[in-house]
């Protein structure tokens, strides 16, 4: 509708202004490396260090994010980070308390940071996580294109702020009680739930489009369930704030 289009344009314009504004809100030049230029890469890895459960926090400012499962590795994390020359590399921290690890990987904005343009602009994160311990994953996607392939992970919970851009999430085919909350943001959100997983989807708000697999039937207002959800041992409780954009659940 016209109202939705106007709101989307206004939100994108506001985001662009915030990103290009310098100190005090005055527009600034694009940061070095934000348009074209050389790119740098950094290999990252992290051991579990005795953790039996890990909270994983990923915060990317702008670019591309891909998350998948590690193959035959004892580590918690392995990955490759790409970023424009002139940008600070993302920061990585990890600590273990009482058997619970907390890993945080975050973009670092610098004065003059701006909305990246062009096919090679922004950051590129290609990350692989352990299959060995339960994970609570939190993603702040910023202005990015993201693919979270969680099918082979031991997922306990997922929290996502989709931001501006496209996000695709593949949920595991098995797990006990999995919980997920996703803020749809502005853009396209596609969620893949395997056929064998019982699921409940609650959708709040949102001014965009909603498409649900025929497997889901209304159970109450704004809530949809697959058959047998109430008695299933392996199930996903998914809460989506639709945002301004499109949501597809397959």
Number of domains in the chain: 1
Q: Are 151 and 171 in contact (CB under 8 A)?
A: yes
CA dist., res. 30 & res. 34, Å (int)? 6
DSSP alpha helix (H) spans, the chain: 2-20
In sequence order, the 6+-apart residues with CB closer than 8 A to the CB of 123 are 60, 61, 62, 63, 64, 81, 82, 83, 87, 90, 107
Interval 182-198: pLDDT, tens = 887 788 889 999 988 89
For residue 13, the model assigns a pLDDT of 42
Highest mean pLDDT among 4-13, 19-28, 200-209: 200-209
Residues 6+ apart with CB under 8 A from 161: 139, 140, 141, 183, 185
Edge-to-edge strand list for the sheet holding 75-84? 39-47, 75-84, 123-129, 62-69, 143-149, 164-170, 186-192, 244-249, 209-212
pLDDT the model gives residue 70: 98
Range of the domain at 138: 2-249
Note the pLDDT of residue 17: 39
Which pLDDT tens digit goes with each residue over 125-169?
999 999 999 999 999 998 889 999 999 999 999 999 988 889 999
| pTM listed for this prediction | 0.82
Residue 110, pLDDT > 90, answer no
State pLDDT tens for residues 58-87. Answer: 999 899 999 999 998 999 999 999 999 888
Question: Is 205 a residue whose pLDDT tops 90?
Answer: no
Determine the Cα–Cα distance for residues 67 and 59; give it in Å rounded to an integer: 13
Confidence of residue 35 (pLDDT cuts 50, 70, 90): very low
Which of 178 and 13 is assigned the larger pLDDT? 178
Q: How far apart are CA 7 and CA 5, in angstroms?
A: 5
CA nearest neighbour of 106 among 61, 70, 137, 155: 61
Question: How high is the pLDDT of residue 223?
Answer: 92
pLDDT at 33 over 50: no
């Amino acid at each position: 509708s016209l109202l939705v289009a106007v709101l989307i344009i206004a939100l994108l314009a506001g985001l662009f202004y915030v990103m290009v504004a310098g100190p005090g809100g005055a527009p600034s030049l694009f940061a070095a490396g934000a348009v074209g230029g050389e790119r740098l890469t950094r290999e990252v890895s992290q051991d579990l260090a005795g953790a039996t459960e890990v909270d994983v926090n990923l915060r990317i400012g702008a670019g591309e994010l891909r998350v998948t499962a590690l193959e035959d590795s004892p580590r918690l994390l392995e990955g490759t980070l790409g970023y424009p020359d002139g940008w600070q590399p993302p920061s990585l921290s990890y600590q273990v308390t009482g058997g619970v690890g907390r890993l945080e990987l975050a973009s670092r904005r610098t004065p003059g940071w701006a909305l990246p343009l062009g096919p090679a602009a922004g950051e590129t994160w290609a990350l692989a996580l352990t299959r060995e311990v339960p994970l609570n994953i939190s993603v702040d996607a910023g202005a990015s294109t993201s693919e979270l392939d969680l099918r082979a992970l031991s997922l306990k919970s997922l929290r996502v702020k989709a931001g501006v851009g496209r996000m695709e999430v593949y949920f595991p085919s098995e797990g006990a009680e999995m919980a997920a909350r996703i803020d749809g943001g502005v853009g396209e959100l596609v969620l893949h739930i395997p056929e064998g997983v019982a699921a409940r989807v609650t959708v709040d708000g949102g001014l965009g489009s909603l498409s649900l697999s025929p497997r889901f039937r209304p159970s109450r207002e704004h809530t949809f369930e697959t058959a047998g959800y109430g008695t299933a041992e392996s199930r996903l409780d998914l809460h989506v704030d639709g945002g301004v954009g499109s949501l597809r659940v397959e």
